[in-house]
Amino acid sequence: MFASPIGCLRFVASERGLSRVCFAGERLPIDDPSDHPLATQQLTEYFAGTRREFTVPLDLTGVTEFRAAVLRELARVPYGGTTTYAQLARAVGNPKAVRAVGSACATNPLPLFIPCHRVLRSDGQLGGYRGGGKAKRFLLRLEGIDV
């Protein structure tokens, strides 16, 4: 478990890499969370403002191809930047799939490492976040985005 400024986070990892980050109150898909020293170190640096990119190996096994495409595109959104659900839908070649993109973001198994907090609604509103609106606002402000 990692005590972060946005609450306790728990990790699930496989031999391939980090496969899930759970916020406080979320049910773990396994009985026992994994210790992940590299994830803990990099998140500590991120919250201290000294890390802008993560190098933790990630495991997206079990994610559908569409959702994986959305998450890969989302991973390209830089620190301090934002995108919209509509922009992501266009980037994955399906401009009408805005709701499906929203669903892919909502079920992102690796929040923070794949930065779904950087996705805003087209009207500039925050939109949802599995960790809650307060956490999303905190993360955006940490990255210098005024919301």
The single residue of 8, 22, 105, 116 carrying the catalytic annotation is 116
Strand ranges for 38-131 from DSSP E: 83-84, 119-120
Question: What is the rounded CA–CA span in Å between residue 8 and residue 82?
Answer: 25
Question: What is the rounded CA–CA span in Å between residue 115 and residue 7?
Answer: 17
Pairing of strands 2-4, 119-120: unpaired
Is 116 known to be catalytic? yes
Catalytic residues: 116
